[in-house]
Amino acid sequence: MEKFASVYERRERRELSQAEAAEARGRSERMFGTLQDRLIKELRLAGIRDVATANAWIRESYLPGHNQRFMVEAALPDRAFVTVEASRIVEALCIEEERTVGRDNTIAWNNKRLQLPESPLRRH
């Protein structure tokens, strides 16, 4: 999660808020009235012991009640998902390694010296 957060914060130029502690997740779930780990308990109370029966029970009993309780009409009819340029995904899904830039504007990587391109941020 730390790596994702650092990439997200660098790309989006804002901090990623997250509830890392189990207690924080529990508080938010209680605040919104969600069921936390209640599904497992409900399955046990219903006497369900196999996956096929559990899937049928969830589909026919659990989900309709859950959706009725928590469903909210969308504020806008448009889709919430937006397309992302492939180049942004490639940048985010990369391996980052810390390197020291030598006085000759090179870095060492994989037993090779790589020349860095000129930059106004660095004497060349």
Q: Is the pTM of this model over 0.75?
A: no
Domain boundaries, the chain: 2-99
* Longest CA–CA separation in the chain, Å: 72
| Mean pLDDT, rounded, for 69-81 | 81
Where is pLDDT greater, at 118 or 9? Answer: 118
| Beta-bridge partners for 106 | 115
- pLDDT band for position 56 (50/70/90)? very high
Q: Which of 42-46, 52-56, 64-68, 76-80 has the highest mean pLDDT?
A: 52-56
pLDDT at 17: 59
Specify the DSSP class assigned to residue 93: S
Contact present, 65 and 59 (Cβ < 8 Å)? no
| Mean pLDDT, rounded, for 106-119 | 89
